[in-house]
Amino acid sequence: MNSKITYTNEPMEIGEVVKDFLPSPDQLVPKGKSKTNQVTLELTEESVSFFKAQADRKQISYEKIIELLIEQYAHECISDD
């Protein structure tokens, strides 16, 4: 992974607009227990601060909010296939 990435200014026409399907933090509600795998993520300080603030408002852990958001994203992508 030592190769350098070269970015170009490509025209916007090659992209595709997708609908916003991720839930707001207020809509993230813990669901039943299911089998999990532990993973490590690297997030920006800004992202972690955002999730911690949302977690304080909802009185749940910020890790749980991130977990629920990723699960919602995965379920949405699976249902699109």
Tell whether 24 is covered by a domain. no
Residue 30 pLDDT: 60
Residue 62 within any structural domain of the chain:
yes
pLDDT of residue 78: 82
Domain count, the chain: 1
Instruction: Return the residue matching tokens 């909010």.
Output: 65
Range of the domain at 72: 46-80
Q: Give the span between the Cα atoms of 41 and 65, in whole angstroms.
A: 14
Question: pLDDT grade, residue 32 (50/70/90)?
Answer: low
72 lies in some domain: yes
DSSP state of 15: S
Q: What's the pTM? A: 0.57
Give per-residue pLDDT as tens, 41-74.
Answer: 999 999 999 999 999 998 999 999 999 899 888 8
Within a domain: 36: no
